[in-house]
Amino acid sequence: MSDAILMLETGVYFKGKIFGYEDEASGEVVFNTGIMGYEEILTDPSYKGQIVVMTYPHIGNYGITYYDFESNKPQVEGFVVHEFSKISSNWQAKHSIEKILKKYKIVCIEGVDTRALTKYIRDNGSMRGIISSKEKDLKALYKKVQQVPTIVGQDLVKKVSCKKEYKPFVKDALNEQVDAFPLNENIFFDFTKIPAKYKVVVIDCGCKFNILRWLRVVGCDLVVVPADTSFDKILSYSPDGIFLSNGPGDPEGVPYVFKTVERLISYSVSSNIYLPIFGICLGHQMIALALGGKTYKLKFGHHGINHPVKNLKTQQIEISSQNHNFAVEMEEVDGKLYVRGNRDLEVTHINLNDYSCEGLRHKRLPIFAVQYHPESAPGPNDSKYLFKEFIDLMDKKFRLSFA
């Protein structure tokens, strides 16, 4: 294996060995503190544009299962790991991690003191970086990293959103969309036998497969559409509900999405149409932006599976899966938390580590969203109830129309 260097925009660098594909890769360097779940992390479209540092030192131990792919291929720009496992040990393992990384040309560096690197990013914020096995000259590499575009304002969604609509869990569509993972197969139970009662349009900003699985599990009949799908097109499906997916990058970088959301909401209000909307992660930010809220960039983001989130209604704690660099601004009024800019948007969940906004709900409209990942993958199953809440909202519509 050849030597490689990870150079950060501040001129701090780490030497290591290249692993997987030999090339150069750049992006915003963020760290993830999850111990397991590297397969999901690699394939999570929200990591588009980012080089992910895994804080846990052994990565690849259980190989690649394919069951845990969260999109049709690895999405990270680069992967920084202390030590990759050279063998895979798990009954589900189909390939070694090395094989997959090579196949999908993911540039990785191992042998890095990832704890030192993590501490550096924690103190100095997430920043641009470049991994290279080609350029040995430090100064040249430093120059190169300055050329890497910052993530702020970029539209990364267009890189991961589906190119055309598809119906997941239906064979034909599947073959085109998913080349690696059979989406309709679940090793623990066959949810395709569950009746699909509610038509839901998923606006795909880089949607994780597990969201689709869970929406399907609770009874949604899904159609996934590209992020830039027009308002009219969406309505043409006569959906019972709209789902806004997760996705990479800066929410301000995709005005076409939150503007569509804004139109959907104002249309439903003006036409008195009951249209439940549920958003996760970027979807959460889209709703906030659509309704006059603001987002800001976190210093080094939240990437992990152990963050405590408090449900302000039940006062219960959920251990959550997190992956975001931006958050929705809040304000406190008379001891209650709202999304800054719109007092119709109540904050429903907060992060107990840094008291940032983790969930919102509209006071009168059937709209709610969370910043974290109830679909987990990877992460705990504490928040699966939110999918049920979405169904309950759509259920209400049934009750209205048949009353």
Catalytically active residues are 281, 373, 375
Q: Are 18 and 107 in contact (CB under 8 A)?
A: yes
Q: DSSP labels for 233-262? A: HHHTT--SEEEE---SS-GGG-HHHHHHHH
- Contact between 136 and another protein (CB under 8 A)? no
Residue 182 interacting with another protein (CB under 8 A): no
Q: Are 274 and 245 in contact (CB under 8 A)?
A: no
- What string of DSSP letters covers 356-392? -EEEEEESSSSEEEESS-TT-SSS-STTTHHHHHHHH
Task: Provide the 3-class DSSP secondary structure of residue 77.
Answer: coil
Q: Which residues between 64 and 123 bind another protein (CB under 8 A)?
A: 65, 67-68, 82-83, 85-87, 89-92, 112-120, 122
140 CA to centre of own chain: 33
Question: Is 381 one of the binding residues for another protein (CB under 8 A)?
Answer: yes
Nearer to another protein, 13 or 237 (CB): 13
User: Residue from 42, 44, 51, 62 that binds another protein (CB under 8 A)?
Assistant: 62
CA atoms of 45 and 402, how far apart (whole Å): 40
Question: Rule CB under 8 A: is residue 36 a binding residue for another protein?
Answer: yes
Task: Report, in Å, the least distance between residue 92 CB and another protein.
Answer: 7
* Residues near another protein (CB under 8 A), total: 65
The DSSP line for 265-283 is HHHHHHTT----EEEETHH
- Minimum distance from residue 6 beta carbon to another protein (Å): 10
CA-wise closest residue to 298 among 176, 152, 189? 152
For residue 151, give the DSSP letter. S
In the numeric block, which tokens belong to residue 237?
Answer: 């499906």
Residues numbered 140 to 179 that lie near another protein (CB under 8 A) are 142
Task: Enumerate residues 205-244 that contact another protein by CB under 8 A.
Answer: none
Q: Does 307 bind another protein (CB under 8 A)?
A: yes
324-353: contacts with another protein (CB under 8 A): 352-353
Question: Other CB atoms closer than 10 Å to residue 361's CB: what's the count?
Answer: 21
**Run of H or E including 100:** helix 97-103
Only segment of 13-21, 216-224, 243-251, 328-336 that touches another protein (CB under 8 A): 13-21
**Shortest Cβ 116–another protein spacing (Å):** 4
Q: List the one residue from 315, 333, 399, 403 that touches another protein (CB under 8 A).
A: 315
Q: Which residues bind another protein (CB under 8 A)?
A: 7, 11-15, 31, 33-37, 39-40, 55-58, 61-62, 65, 67-68, 82-83, 85-87, 89-92, 112-120, 122, 138-139, 142, 187-188, 304-308, 310, 315-317, 319, 352-353, 376-381
